[in-house]
Structure 1
Amino acid sequence: MKILYSLAVIIALAFTIPFSANADPGRTVKGVVKDSTGYLVAGTSVKMLTGTDSTTVITGADGTFTFTNVAVNQFSLVFSSIGYQPLRRRFVLANDSKPADLPPVILKIETTMLKTVVIADVNPVKLKEDTIEFNADAYKVRDNAPVEDVIKKLPGMDVDKDGNITAQGKSVTKVRVNGKDFFGGDVKTATKNLPADIVQNIQIIDDYGDQANITGIKTGEPDKVLNITIKQNKNYGYFGQASVGGGHDAIPGVSSDKESNRYVASANVFSFNGDRQLAFLGNLNNTNTNLFTFGGGGPRGGGPGGPPGGNSSSSNGITTARSFGFNYRDSWGKKITAYGSYSFADNSVNTISSTIQNNLSSTNPSTNTQTNNQQDEKLNHRVNFNIEYKPDTVNYVKITPTYAYASTNTTSDATSLLLRNSETVSNYSLANLSKSTEPNYGVNVLFNHKLNSHGRNFSVNVGAGSYTINKYQNPVYTYIDGARNAPLNQFINTDSRTDSVGTTVSYLEPISKKGYLELNYAYHYAYTTADRATDTLADDGNINRYDLLSNNYNSTFVTNRFGLNYRFIDKKYNYTLGVVAQPTLLKGSSIVDGTPFTTNNNTFNWAPTARFIYNFSRSQSLSLNYNGSSNQPTYTELQPVTDFSNASYPVQGNPDLKPEFNNTLSLKYNKFNFESGNVFFSNLSFIKTDNKIVANTITYPRNYAPNSKLAGSILTQYLNADGYYSAQGFYVFAKPWQKRKYNLFMIGNISYNNNVSYISNVDSATYNMTTEKNIAKNLVLSQGARFRVSITDVIDAEASTTYSVNTSSNSIKQANVNSNFQTLNLGLNGKSYFKDWTLSYDYSKMIYYGYTGATNPNILNTYVERRFLKGNAGTLRFSVMDVFNENTGYTTTQNGSYITQTNSNRLGRYYLLTFTLKLQKFAGKRPTMERGGPGGPPPGGGPGGPPPF
């Protein structure tokens, strides 16, 4: 019987195998996933369940998914996507093998935080109208790493050695946590101190201001804002970290010309309890580590002979930093949210620099060689506070008082040698003492009222403030050779104050289902007083008033801006078209040595406004923006008195200046491929300025008008000129492999400036003046490539190279002046992990071309680290910074008046031993997400949607 049964099985198999070999392998099943607004949902995990088997695919950029070789006609599909409610649907197909196109699957947007969903891979990037959102879980870092380590891995993001961040080629000016300013928006406080493992998303936002976020009408140039959202299950708990360390400039066994002790002590504590968030930061060190970044007012950039603006690095000089701060956020009941911060810093900075400045001229070119040893004592206080009040669903009020105080005491010893046609024009040394205080305070109130449920809205924003500068200078000159133009010993007191008030009113009227009409009006009034008193020390020891260098000055700047905008909103695109009319009034008066000067300029500018957003999909977008805006002259540019605090480069204002008017056009294109993971970000911008405020440098001969204070000097005055324009471009392409374990980045920047200036020369025989217009075409170009390997707890390393060019061409030709500077930067940095040990290395090789006397430094910073204690709470680190002791900085500045190259000191070789203790505890409670609450949307409209008010 068993034999018969075996024969039957063999016969059955013999007939079955041929038929199975030729059987249809199964059908193809296709489908598409959308959300409730009609957008295609890319990056959705789709799992097919067939009995005990399952197969998972990810939707592509067009929201489609495909299963092949489906052998059954009944199955279930499970859909999972971050930000959407999970969905499970069962399908029964015809009993055949024909391909099947499933009906569209609609996912509902999740309004509360989902429980953990296990999917094949997280969606790393989301593109919205003004926001690029990165999922922090897609960019793995080691436990206890700071947020900064995640940001370094994000495509289009760059973090320099000082912690400054650029996004898509533009500087990030503000940081928020859960949509609210953190430490007043100070960039480094959050990125260097918050632990990465509590972060859900990192967003890069083009922010047009609170009022624009509410109304949805966005014009002007946005700020780059970085917003960090905290995971809901980390919103209850605390995190604390403290570090202490000491070291020395000299490495054991290696000689050092100058030795000094190095020390560091820091602490930070974060406490999260739902809506209530508290943070404390403190830092004490002499290792050039600044906890906060404080801005300042004053004129636009340094003048000729001063420190070159635009290229200076905060790492120049040696800094001793003492700082601490406190940040607070809480909900005062259900209707009020309050948040604010206090920041304090007391820094000492020693900077030693040497500068070669070539002053352009067709007939009298000159070269100025300068050295400077400067000690700055800087004290800063900053208070920011915000109160948001939402009494009901139709009203919203935000009150923001601010206060800042800065004081600086500076002592410097400098030398200056000015040569013209190989002849010494002036040669002197300068000892300078200066003290300044700058209190700055203001308040801003935003009120918004929703008039109906269809989008009719009224909002008003009112602000007022006062900015004061009280400055004392005592420059003392010792003339060695050449002209003696400035008084030997001056006592200069400058007191300036600007009081301003402004308001913006907006009314929004829906005129169709998708169209809105906005009327807006903006008024700004600024009144400035600037009193300058210069005394000199006479030979008999008496202090005398120098009337020619003293004056009392005041000016009033008033703008009225009228705007009409139409906004249309559709699923895939939206646009704003409008027109702006802006009359301005600039008037002022001054008396110098008994001579009155008056200013009374009325100008009228109008410009269209345009903004267009097209969302090809959730992973591809294009935006275009155009706007016009005016810019008032500074009081330094207006004040008709000569400033001789720099003997070779005096400065004199022009009371007849007109305000500038900027026309700005920008274009952005972003694309992310869900299937390959490729990222491409790009932006272009173009600025044309009417009535550009430019420099007119006047070169006076050494023998000019005996006893004249201008003899041998190069005087800077200011004029209005047309013809200025600039263009900037940026792109980044990122190619990942194996879930971003390997990444290739290609990054390019380009900027072109058509600078305008005037070069004047005074004839040494006749004293007649000739003036030429100089067009300086400046090109700055850089191209970089980076390859990154990131394997969690194994290695995180990056090799990079960047080639940069800074070159200019002047219509006024001048021989023997180099205007072509190039830099090649080769780098290798990373961390290798050996269980609880970490080896870190950061090497860069700078190769300079065109810089006089430049060296090509090799810079290597390295440390060895050991984690221990329960939960790796303790860390012991031994660091050696600038191993080869070659750290130095070379920069160049080029414009229509001069070309400079500067070499500044930087912190050199030292070693440091530090101990760090980290403690943290987070609860798993998930609070409900409310509008404006932690992790929820701000009290404004979502990108692309209709205004909420």
Structure 2
Amino acid sequence: MKRLFTILVMLVAVLQAYAQTTSVSGSVQSASDKGALPGANVVLTRTADATKTVTATDGEGRFQFERVAQGQYTLEINYIGFENFSRSFQVAGAPVNLGQLLLRDGATGLQEVQIIGRAPLGEQKGDTSQFNAKAFKTAPDASAEDLVTKMPGVTVQDGKIQAQGEDVQQVMIDGKRYTGEDVNSAVRNISADMIESVQVFDGQSDRAAFSGFDDGNRIKTLNFVTRKDKRHGYVGKASAGYGTDERYMLGATVNYFNGEQRITATGLTNNINMFDFSIGETPGGGMRGRRGWGGGSPNGIINTDNFALSYNDKWGKKMEVGGNYNYTNRDVVNNQYRFRDFVNSDTTYTENSQNQDITDSHRFNFRLQYNINENNRLLVRPNISIQRSQSFTGRNASTIANGEELTNSINSDNADNTTLNISNNILYSHRFGDSGRILTVDIDTRYTDTDGDTYQLENTANLMDPERDVTRNQFINLDRSNLAWSGNLDYSQRLGENSRLQLEYNISNRNNDSDRRTYDYVENESAYNSFNAPLSNTFQSDYVAQRFGPSYQYRTDKTTFQLNARYQYATLRGESQFPEQYPVKRDYNNVLPSAEYEYKFSKSTNLRINYSTSTNEPSVEQLQNVLDISNPLQPRIGNPELDQEYQNRLFMRFRNFNAETNKVFFMGVFGTMTQNYVTNSIYTRDVPFELPENYTYRPGSRFSRPVNLDGYWSVRSFFNYGQPINFISSNLNLNGSVGYSRTPGMIDEEINYANNTNFRAGLNLSSNISENVDFNLSTTGSYNLVENTLRTNQNNNFYNHSTNLRLNTIIWKGIVYRTELNHQYNTGLSAGVDNSYLLWNMSLGKKIFKNQQGEISLSVNDLLKQNVSIQRNIAADYVEDVQSSVLQRYFMLTFTYNLRKFISGEAPEMNQERRGNWGGRP
């Protein structure tokens, strides 16, 4: 430790010798309301040689240039909708703070600056793609979701919003985070006519933003820059509907805006599979066709009661706060049919199950950022959640070999679990004046406690030997806790005009304590009094990791290069009491390199390459050497010998945005390779481990045990090309991808590689005609090739084609017709699974009241009564198809009322004609 301390002191001394230059900083605001302008393009030009350095303002409108040499400079600022700003100044030896730089509203509206008859879509600013909302026409009552899905590179895949091939994970409004967990709810709760522009970029982690040193942790982010005249007031919507089969829906949401302060309240109760209510909700609730966790119509019949409250504000000039509370009660009833075809034999598994899950949850998260002064920043993020889940699963399952049924099992699980999660993150950053040195401290704590009871019943018929039929009645009590904490210390220093060095030290600890005890039912005592030690497990584990190393960063106006090297030493200690005493001791030594390179060919074209490594230790469930027979025909057991995974990831992306032609092109490649990949070893015959003495083998059972295998890797490439189609006033997006994955597994001690190749291509056509005609047409085809190395005759190819049409049109005098069609075509699935269907939803409504704020509508969900849910799952030892019950046809009469008022004036009537405005909004 003394040697390490000496090295650190020497490095700090060397770094200080390089601090010879100064900095230029400031903030960019709107002259009309003093609001911050995030994402503004800031160019610093040295007069002597015309050398340019470019940056963009952060979420608070701030910017800073490091390592600025002495001399005369010109600063230029550009931002859509505002006049260009320019100022000349002299840099001497002291730091230059230009203060608040105010941009005036553009004298010429964007709709008047047109190229080939259209408003410009936007522009590329380094890593940020900024789109002009006025260039995309939407219906009068459209949400931000309707707007962004018209933009190049933004699509909806499997029910999730994607931008440039990646899932959007964060939403911001005017550079401030939208506090909440659901991205889809966020974009549906913002009215499209409030938006001035939309920015798409890779958001940095809070630690990177505080330290000024990129840690490689990026999340795809949408930032909605609102119109200045829509930042004071409120918008909202309330709907009430009742339909056939006693279907009902009652929901309301209100967004209140007052400068920096934003409050959103949402409430919903329904039994039509809606999970949330928002500004973008279509009356009747049967539209959109994607309400579930994973896309498509959600599985099962779902009753939901939900209330959410979100708050964002700025307390004084230095403190920014945001909080969210969410209460949800959800009851899901779902029946499923499952057909599983195994790789290494002629054995199949079929299952019919009835499932009901009732969850009751409270979630609270808070964020406080305190900008103490120009050199000190503090961020505190506490989170609390408590959830109670009650579930019932009843199965009727069979295994069949060579056409002969081996086993039939009827079993059920009835569980009641309560889980408490508490976490907190504290992040502090200190900048040592203008020396170029920054110290960042990050402390994270997490605690989870789960307490649950489960009752299991089983009646398994052994059709090969009826004397070995099994009857089981058991009670399982689970008490599990997890305490984790980590601390991170970063110190960075400028080395020269364009380079910076950072030293990092991290220590983390995760402690797990799991007590799982099983009791058999005693008939003559009418109680669960017989302790079953072989099926019980008490396990404790403690994982401690220390990581340290340097990072080097080089940055110019065109090139950014960063190289990180980390050495990690970790220990895993554990001990099991049941079913037998077993100590676990592992020591891990790893080198974790990472690198990033970015080159900007021009203002609108750039290439980025990122490489990173990480480790992942086994979970408590995977390490527990206890037999789990909750599904008697698919028993599982843990493996205390598991090693940690080591993962390599490579990411490349090329982007081009031609603002003159409004053509956009994105292309990317993602690759992952994992050593010691944790996968399943399947045993259909003898098992190489001891089973409990009282365990009765079920013919056709397949034991599963986690093991480490090398050979996992996957790669996916994607592209997106977009351009306007002027002769039909629409926007066209073409997209496609090619993916390949290789998943290792073991079957009866033989290694099998499941190779899955996927080809996908699609197009999206979105209208830009007028606010009275709003449509979106998309079609996507996906072809999959599944190959197994153990048994090639089990190879399987399947194809899926999805076509969607969404149309909103104002027919005449406030009469609105909406329709949505979703056609799914599938081939190559298992026999007995419904392959294709057409889901058709529609509604007919009439606008009423002043400014057409109200609407009465009649809607129908699944008019043709064809809705089904099909999912194909591919594993190392099987391919399976799962068909789930879904909500089918019902009719509903709905009344909707829109709330809308702004201090700067009432919003114009929705059906008002706005000539000369390509965006359909003032």
Q: Aligned-pair distance for 1:525?
A: 0.6
CA contact (8 A) 1:127 1:621 kept: no
For 1:532-543, what aligned pairs fall within 5 Å after superposition? Answer: 532-540=516-524, 541-543=526-528
Residue 872 (structure 2) aligns with: 892
Q: Aligned-pair distance for 1:206?
A: 2.0
Evaluate the alpha carbon distance shift between residue 468 and residue 780 of structure 1 in structure 2; reply closer, same or farther with a 3 A threshold: farther
Distance in 1 (alpha carbons) for counterparts of 2:458 and 2:668: 49
Deviations 1:8-64 (A, max 9, x none): xxxxxxxxxxxxxxxxxxxxxxxxx995457799xxxxxxxxxxxxxxxxxxxxxxx
Residue 379 (structure 1) aligns with: 360
Counterpart of 2:312 in structure 1: which amino acid? R
Evaluate the alpha carbon distance shift between residue 488 and residue 518 of structure 1 in structure 2; reply closer, same or farther with a 3 A threshold: same
For 1:257-406, what aligned pairs fall within 5 Å after superposition? Answer: 260-291=245-276, 315-361=298-344, 364-406=345-387
Distance in 2 (alpha carbons) for counterparts of 1:912 and 1:798: 24
Distance in 1 (alpha carbons) for counterparts of 2:303 and 2:851: 33
Residue 602 (structure 2) aligns with: 617
Residue 198 (structure 1) aligns with: 194
Instruction: Report the 3-state secondary structure (helix = DSSP H, G, I; strand = E; otherwise coil) of the residue aligned with 1:488.
Output: strand
For 1:805-884, what aligned pairs fall within 5 Å after superposition? Answer: 805-813=783-791, 815=793, 817=794, 819-835=796-812, 836-851=814-829, 852-853=831-832, 854-884=834-864
Pairing 1:557–2:543 present: yes
Distance in 1 (alpha carbons) for counterparts of 2:224 and 2:387: 29
Residue 74 (structure 2) aligns with: none
Instruction: Report the 3-state secondary structure (helix = DSSP H, G, I; strand = E; otherwise coil) of the residue aligned with 1:489.
Output: strand
Pairing 1:131–2:128 present: yes
For 1:106-505, what aligned pairs fall within 5 Å after superposition? Answer: 111-112=102-103, 114-115=105-106, 117-119=108-110, 120-121=113-114, 122-159=119-156, 164-248=160-244, 260-291=245-276, 315-361=298-344, 364-482=345-463, 488-505=472-489
Distance in 1 (alpha carbons) for counterparts of 2:728 and 2:604: 18
Distance in 1 (alpha carbons) for counterparts of 2:313 and 2:708: 50
Distance in 2 (alpha carbons) for counterparts of 1:171 and 1:488: 45
Evaluate the alpha carbon distance shift between residue 456 and residue 180 of structure 1 in structure 2; reply closer, same or farther with a 3 A threshold: same
Distance in 1 (alpha carbons) for counterparts of 2:723 and 2:850: 38
CA contact (8 A) 2:268 2:277 kept: no
Q: Aligned-pair distance for 1:566?
A: 1.0
Deviations 1:756-787 (A, max 9, x none): 11111xxxxxxxxxx10111111222111223
Distance in 2 (alpha carbons) for counterparts of 1:134 and 1:558: 46
Distance in 1 (alpha carbons) for counterparts of 2:637 and 2:86: 75
Evaluate the alpha carbon distance shift between residue 127 and residue 455 of structure 1 in structure 2; reply closer, same or farther with a 3 A threshold: farther
Instruction: Report the 3-state secondary structure (helix = DSSP H, G, I; strand = E; otherwise coil) of the residue aligned with 1:549.
Output: strand
Query: Which of 484-493 and 429-438 deviates more?
Result: 484-493
Q: Aligned-pair distance for 1:705?
A: 11
Pairing 1:709–2:696 present: yes
Distance in 1 (alpha carbons) for counterparts of 2:731 and 2:133: 16
What fraction of aligned residue pairs are identical, expressed as a percent? 27
Instruction: Report the 3-state secondary structure (helix = DSSP H, G, I; strand = E; otherwise coil) of the residue aligned with 1:150.
Output: helix
Aligned residues: 798
Q: Aligned-pair distance for 1:546?
A: 0.8
Deviations 1:234-284 (A, max 9, x none): 221111221111111xxxxxxxxxxx2111111111111112211111111
Evaluate the alpha carbon distance shift between residue 88 and residue 224 of structure 1 in structure 2; reply closer, same or farther with a 3 A threshold: closer
Instruction: Report the 3-state secondary structure (helix = DSSP H, G, I; strand = E; otherwise coil) of the residue aligned with 2:313.
Output: strand
Distance in 2 (alpha carbons) for counterparts of 1:418 and 1:357: 10
Q: Greater CA radius of gyration, 1 or 2? A: 1
Distance in 1 (alpha carbons) for counterparts of 2:549 and 2:641: 28
Pairing 1:531–2:515 present: yes
Residue 80 (structure 2) aligns with: 82
Residue 282 (structure 2) aligns with: none
For 1:30-45, what aligned pairs fall within 5 Å after superposition? Answer: 35-37=43-45
Instruction: Report the 3-state secondary structure (helix = DSSP H, G, I; strand = E; otherwise coil) of the residue aligned with 2:229.
Output: helix
Deviations 1:286-320 (A, max 9, x none): 11111299xxxxxxxxxxxxxxx997867111111
Distance in 2 (alpha carbons) for counterparts of 1:758 and 1:36: 59
Instruction: Could you tell me which runs of 5 or more consecutive residues in structure 1 were left unpaired when the two chains were aligned.
Output: 1-32, 42-78, 90-107, 249-259, 294-308, 761-770, 926-949
Evaluate the alpha carbon distance shift between residue 515 and residue 274 of structure 1 in structure 2; reply closer, same or farther with a 3 A threshold: same
Distance in 2 (alpha carbons) for counterparts of 1:448 and 1:884: 59
Instruction: Could you tell me which runs of 5 or more consecutive residues in structure 2 were left unpaired when the two chains were aligned.
Output: 1-40, 46-50, 55-76, 88-98, 279-291, 906-922
Distance in 2 (alpha carbons) for counterparts of 1:694 and 1:676: 49
CA contact (8 A) 2:566 2:591 kept: yes
Distance in 1 (alpha carbons) for counterparts of 2:758 and 2:277: 29
Distance in 2 (alpha carbons) for counterparts of 1:239 and 1:633: 48
CA contact (8 A) 1:80 1:117 kept: no
Residue 666 (structure 2) aligns with: 681
Distance in 1 (alpha carbons) for counterparts of 2:844 and 2:319: 48
**What TM-score results when the alignment is normalised by the length of structure 2?**
0.82
Query: Which of 683-692 and 840-849 deviates more?
Result: 840-849
Pairing 1:731–2:728 present: no
Residue 586 (structure 1) aligns with: 572
**What TM-score results when the alignment is normalised by the length of structure 1?**
0.80
Distance in 1 (alpha carbons) for counterparts of 2:773 and 2:419: 48
Query: Which of 330-339 and 645-654 deviates more?
Result: 330-339
Residue 652 (structure 1) aligns with: 637
Counterpart of 2:743 in structure 1: which amino acid? N
Q: Aligned-pair distance for 1:123?
A: 4.0
Counterpart of 1:709 in structure 2: which amino acid? T
CA contact (8 A) 2:392 2:414 kept: yes
Instruction: Report the 3-state secondary structure (helix = DSSP H, G, I; strand = E; otherwise coil) of the residue aligned with 2:633.
Output: coil
Distance in 1 (alpha carbons) for counterparts of 2:295 and 2:683: 26
CA contact (8 A) 1:517 1:564 kept: yes
Instruction: Report the 3-state secondary structure (helix = DSSP H, G, I; strand = E; otherwise coil) of the residue aligned with 2:391.
Output: strand
Aligned-pair Cα RMSD in Å: 2.9
Counterpart of 1:191 in structure 2: which amino acid? V
Deviations 1:828-877 (A, max 9, x none): 32222224222222112221101123242111111122222222211222
Q: Aligned-pair distance for 1:109?
A: 12
Pairing 1:906–2:886 present: yes
Pairing 1:773–2:751 present: yes
